[in-house]
Amino acid sequence: MSHEAGRRRARMHLVRDPQSRAEADLSSRPEVVAWTIDGDAAGRPLVGSTAYVLHFDAGREPPTHGFWSLVMHDERYRRTDNPVHRSSVGDRGSLSFGDDGALDVFVSHAPPRQERRANWLPAPRGPFHLVLNIYWPRPEVLNGHWLPPPVKVLAATSR
């Protein structure tokens, strides 16, 4: 399955807060948009023995009025344990951006080289799922003009 087919098939969950009374025009908008990412760009299931990168071009991080997070779940959609006690990364953390302003999030069971560890989301050894949550999403998320980038396999030489 191609990445585009996978993106169309991805489950996008909209969560509305019925108790929210902030502004009338916001009451019909979802509080959270979440994508479950089950496969890489080629449609293969995600597995921790493979190293991946989720690359956001400069200025193309998840558009939000609030914040975003990328959360690791095992094959049964449970949180996972790991040696650095990190189950998610997001804009509230201390992510490291490239000189060009791009953001790379590294996902694997084995830790990446030292300079990439701030952006490392540890994975279990076996199958896993990623969930990208966008809290108080901007219109481009809601109207489908922004979609998550593909999860790409990292070549062994670039880990």
Counting the structural domains of the chain, the total is 1
Q: What is the DSSP letter of 28?
A: T
Q: Is residue 7 part of a domain?
A: yes
pLDDT value at 53 more than 60: yes
Task: Write the CATH number for 69.
Answer: 2.60.120.600
* pLDDT at 15 (0 to 100): 52
Q: Could you give the 3-state DSSP secondary structure of residue 26?
A: helix
In a domain, 95, yes or no: yes
Whether residue 159 is contained in a domain is answered as: no
Q: What is the pTM of this model?
A: 0.81
| Structure confidence by residue, pLDDT tens digits, 9-27 | 444 555 544 443 333 333 4
Instruction: Please name the residues in contact with 118: beta carbons below 8 A apart, sequence gap of 6 or more.
Output: 93, 94, 95, 96
**Band (82; pLDDT cuts 50, 70, 90):** confident
Q: Is the pLDDT of residue 158 over 80?
A: no
Q: Is 125 part of a structural domain of the chain?
A: yes
Q: What is the mean pLDDT of residues 112-117?
A: 94
**What residue numbers bound the domain in which 35 lies?**
3-154
The string of DSSP letters for 44-73 reads PBPBTTS-EEEEE-TT-SPPEEEEEEEEEE
